[in-house]
Amino acid sequence: MDVKSLCLGALSLKDASGYEIKKMFEEGPFSHFYDAGYGSIYPALNKLLADGFVTCTEIEQEGRPAKKVYSLTETGLSSLKEDLNKLPVLDKTRSESITMLFFGHLLSPKHREEILESYIDYFRNGCECIEGVDPTGQPAGRLFVRGLGLAVYEAAANYMEENKDLLLSIDEENDETEKQNNLLVETGDAA
């Protein structure tokens, strides 16, 4: 499922402009499991328009470019359903926060704490974000995904709050770290 498919998915929820689709990905219903930038959204919309999967209505605005509102066509809905009927590829995740915590021993204690607290906040805010949307009348799939997100975010935040001492107790310059580093070197060379 590429960015074009996801734009079709967004437009299956409601008609939207490129800017609004970006907001749906970034802050809206998709924000916890999908994102794409303007660099791919606008080309995708142009391609979908050329292929007849969407139609476009331009609304003149004062002091701004005309707003282009895209709507899903029947052809587009069929294409979306076809994509949804395939098997999903594995999740793709890239987390700089987890990567930095993984290398916690190479960070200063202050930086380590900063990243950890920010990451906890990220999940707490994510929960509030999800809870801030009234679930009444939402389709079952969306409710399910909402509940999944909450479960995962709460588990992550709870684990990190309960285990922060494990990470914050690292002494960057002590013998234990060096011993651990030497153990890693030895383990690596054993291969």
Partner DNA sequence: TTGATTATATATCAAAACGATATATATCAA
Partner DNA sequence: TTGATATATATCGTTTTGATATATAATCAA
Window 108 to 127, contacts with a copy of itself (CB under 8 A): 108, 111, 114-115, 118-119, 122
CB 8 within 8 A of CB 78: no
Note whether 23 binds DNA by CB under 7 A.
Answer: yes
What does the block give as tokens for 190?
A: 């054993």
Question: Which C-beta is closer to a copy of itself: that of 43 or that of 111?
Answer: 111
Out of 89, 93, 110, 190, the only residue in the binding site for DNA (CB under 7 A) is 89
Binding mask 48-87 for DNA (x = CB under 7 A): -------------xxxxxxxxx------------------
Note whether 166 binds a copy of itself by CB under 8 A.
Answer: yes
CB 63 within 8 A of CB 13: no
Contacts of 165 (CB under 8 A, 6+ apart): none
What does the block give as tokens for 167?
A: 């990470």
Q: Which element (helix H / strand E) includes 59?
A: strand 54-59
Distances (CA, A) of 38 to 21, 25, 45, 76, 122: 9, 11, 10, 21, 23
Q: Which element (helix H / strand E) includes 71?
A: strand 67-72
Binding mask 131-160 for a copy of itself (x = CB under 8 A): ------xxxxxxxxx-xx--xx-xxx-xxx
Question: Which C-beta is closer to a copy of itself: that of 65 or that of 139?
Answer: 139
Out of 28, 31, 32, 40, the only residue in the binding site for DNA (CB under 7 A) is 40
| Chain contacts with DNA (rule: CB under 7 A) | 2-4, 17-20, 23, 35-40, 42-46, 61-69, 89, 92
